[in-house]
Amino acid sequence: MRRRKAVAPGTSRQGVLRLPRSSEHFDAVIVGGGPAGSTAGYRLATEGARVLLLDRAVFPRDKPCGGGVTLRGARQLPFSLAPVVDQEVTAMDFRFRFGLAARHEYDQPIVLMTRRSRLDAYLLERAAEVGVEVREGVRVREVVPHPVSPEARGDGFRVRGAVVLGADGANGISAAALGGAPARWDVIAYEGNADRARYRSREFDGSMLFEIGIVPGGYGWIFPKADHANFGVGGWFHEGPQMKAHLTRLCAAHGVSIDDLAGLRGYRIPFRGPESPIAGRRLALIGDAAGLADPLSGDGMFEAFTSARLAAENTLAILGGRARDFSFYRRELRSEIGRHSAASWWAKLVLERWPRLGYGVAASRLGGKLFYQDLRGERTVHLPVTSGLAAVIEGAAQRQLLTGATPSSR
């Protein structure tokens, strides 16, 4: 990967120091340059749109994440991720409460292990190369909807677009512009990295390990990277205070002390409810800003890439006068992600209520085959119903799982 120099706050990727001025107008303004924002920008700029992307961070920046890009996710992209892949995963290990163990081994990769500091910088670089104007170190404070010209505002600047895409992640501000914001359910994940020298067992190279039944609302994982392994746990948001204890147990069970983990940190993973707003007339949320992560796995990069693709298609239709608003995006997203998400909520319910059964399914030959096909994007596991009915069924699973829980505020 080409080395990227850090860019001073307010500096344009195209080299000239350009603080955002008032009254600038673009075809699309994208708030946030993670996997969702950068790939949406890439798609728009390659079709000739004038795109401004603002991110409060200066890249390369890290993001708490296991960094596993499923083949299904990678296949959404119009370019290869090869320059930033640490390991190709060809096996999955399932454990149940640090005891029972099963392994699925495959001939082909199912997940590409990356590090987010490298992956996100690489994706942003691809966007800048095709003409997206990237401004780093620029925090957007507010997105203001408008029927034809929504606006992003920050300290001392306003920029307008024919559309604004909110790609500012789980803690972003764009979602607030759509108002209302009913239930969004978050899990919390906590993770850190064990250096190879500290990580005694090498049997997990090329394999992702999942510990089932050890965290309410989630699981533990060990993901292999080039020179370290990523240890993490995720579960219900209210489990937050127990996360360090869960991670300590996971580490101990695999011969590592939590004190040996570098870069320990926690972060939210957001799940939308069926009624959570996702788009207004000229404003659409993509990726984590829309709460699109998979409820069973907590993965969100496939959803970030998919929503970016669909929102970019819809944006091009708006710019070309073929669409008036983001209805296409709403509809297509439900059709491409909604039925899978409903199946994931039900699998999560089973795992939560009957974790041993969940382990049994994951460990079985059928489970291994389904994971392979699903993670590679060869056959998506979904409910065989219309996307409208899937939303109703998804709501039912959420109610079962979340009774008594409080939705997160945005």
Please answer whether residues 408 and 186 qualify as being in contact, where contact means their C-beta atoms are separated by less than 8 angstroms. yes
- The long-range contacts involving 240-246, CB below 8 angstroms and separated by at least 24 positions, are 240/188, 240/266, 243/188, 243/190, 243/215, 244/190, 246/190, 246/214, 246/215, 246/220
Give the nearest residue (CB) to ligand FAD.
300
Smallest gap from Cβ 30 to ligand FAD, in A, equals 9
Of 307 and 387, CB closest to ligand FAD:
307
Smallest gap from Cβ 15 to ligand FAD, in A, equals 21
Smallest gap from Cβ 402 to ligand FAD, in A, equals 19
Of 169 and 235, CB closest to ligand FAD:
169
Smallest gap from Cβ 50 to ligand FAD, in A, equals 19
Please answer whether residues 161 and 29 qualify as being in contact, where contact means their C-beta atoms are separated by less than 8 angstroms. yes
Beta-bridged to residue 303, according to DSSP, are: none
Of 36 and 279, CB closest to ligand FAD:
36
Handedness of CA 259, 262, 266, 270 (dihedral sign): negative
Cα(123)–Cα(103) distance, integer angstroms: 32
DSSP 12: B
Of 29 and 162, CB closest to ligand FAD:
29
Integer CA distances (angstroms), 169 to 31, 37, 60, 301, 338, in order = 9, 9, 17, 11, 19
Of 305 and 393, CB closest to ligand FAD:
305
Of 235 and 368, CB closest to ligand FAD:
235
How many Cβ atoms sit within 10 Å of the Cβ of residue 399?
10
Smallest gap from Cβ 324 to ligand FAD, in A, equals 26
Smallest gap from Cβ 299 to ligand FAD, in A, equals 3
Binding site for ligand FAD (CB under 6 A): 31-37, 54-57, 63-68, 139-140, 167-169, 172-173, 189, 191, 232, 267, 269, 287-289, 293, 298-301, 304
Smallest gap from Cβ 69 to ligand FAD, in A, equals 6
Cα(206)–Cα(198) distance, integer angstroms: 18
CA angle 250/377/36 to nearest 5° reads 75
Of 303 and 332, CB closest to ligand FAD:
303
